[in-house]
Amino acid sequence: MQKILITGAAGFIGYHLSRSLLEDGIIVFGVDNLNNYYDTDLKEQRLKRLKSFKNFSFKKIDLIDEKKLNNVFLNFNPSIVIHLAAQAGVRYSIENPKAYLDSNLIGFHNIIEQCRSCKIEKLIYASSSSIYGLNKKIPFSVNDKTDYPVSLYGATKKSNELVAHAYSHLYGLKTIGLRFFTVYGPWGRPDMAYFSFTKKIIEGRKIEVFNHGNMQRDFTYIDDIVDGIRNTIEKDFNFEIFNLGNSKSEDLMTMIRIIEKELNIKANIVFKDMQAGDVFKTYADIKKSNKMLKFKPKVSLQIGLKKTIDWYKSFIR
């Protein structure tokens, strides 16, 4: 029976992935520091649901704490580690760079070092579409140059991929990096636009739309991301990087119009200039993921947002 350690298990993607594995009887050990970057109640509520599975264990740990991390690795002895814990968010990194250096650089290194010293079979870790930065070539391919990130967040994720390559090369640790593209869905992140727009529109508050709404994102529904991550678990690669995106770049305004329609409320929009650290467009080329992981996203933005909004309404009731 496989034993999987998932970092960031109380987070949005970590919660859905853990749940999906637990439902199939897989033994999961979750770690998370439950930090207050966004509403900790949401993290606690996700955790409560995971704790109802008898094959789930959890420890509140900060990735910075090498000793506690080492105890988890020694006691649980995972076959695979799926590393999702990180300080997320592009805009927050402008004001709070240290949070990114701690969690995403030192934290990542502590995880990969435990994987090496405890002879873990495979490390699967979250990268991000943010690493494409100033890349102009559309859609973004894993073969494109990613040397020009425009946010510290993107730079830390790029660094993770480089460190993973060195560890795979030097120590034979199998590593798979997954570049996620704007993941959304029920139990999502309050700091992301689809979530905060839904909340504010319901509350009759203004929403701020950057670059005057002239932005495009490859929105990827959470179930497709979970499928994509799960497809990597059985794969045997020494070092690989994949894009996990819907491979459809949608206008930000299309997303807002769908939310308005689902809520049956008109948004009060304040248009603003482009924000530092943001990119104009994201669009995933998923040919490699499709070929090597059989990754095939199924959920349209329309359907995915409807499910997300239905969840949100039941959550706030």
Ligand X SMILES: NC(=O)c1ccc[n+]([C@@H]2O[C@H](COP(=O)([O-])OP(=O)(O)OC[C@H]3O[C@@H](n4cnc5c(N)ncnc54)[C@H](O)[C@@H]3O)[C@@H](O)[C@H]2O)c1
Binding region for ligand X (CB under 6 A): 8, 10-14, 32-35, 43, 62-64, 84-88, 103, 107, 126, 128, 180, 182-183, 189
Count Cα neighbours of 282 within 13 Å in the Cβ-side half-sphere: 23
Tally of residues, the chain: 317
Question: CB-wise, 226 or 268, nearer to ligand X?
Answer: 226
Q: How far is the CB of 63 from ligand X (least distance, A)?
A: 4
Q: How far is the CB of 109 from ligand X (least distance, A)?
A: 12
153 flagged as catalytic: yes
Q: How far is the CB of 115 from ligand X (least distance, A)?
A: 16
- The one catalytic residue in 153, 167, 221, 283 is 153
Question: CB-wise, 110 or 265, nearer to ligand X?
Answer: 110
- 69 Cβ contact partners less than 8 Å away, ≥ 6 residues apart: 31, 61, 63, 110, 111, 114
Question: CB-wise, 14 or 228, nearer to ligand X?
Answer: 14
Question: CB-wise, 103 or 175, nearer to ligand X?
Answer: 103
Q: How far is the CB of 308 from ligand X (least distance, A)?
A: 13
Closest CA to 130 of 86, 195, 175: 86
Tokens representing 18 are: 């853990």
Question: CB-wise, 226 or 309, nearer to ligand X?
Answer: 226
- 100 Cβ contact partners less than 8 Å away, ≥ 6 residues apart: 87, 93, 152, 153, 156
Residue 268 Ramachandran class (φ > 0 left, ψ -120 to 50 alpha, else beta): beta
Q: How far is the CB of 151 from ligand X (least distance, A)?
A: 11
3 state SS of 264 = coil
C-alpha distances out from residue 22 to 12, 30, 49, Å = 16, 11, 11
**Cα 6 to Cα 91: distance, rounded to the nearest angstrom:** 26
- Find the farthest-apart pair of alpha carbons in the chain and give their distance in angstroms, rounded: 56
Active site residues: 153
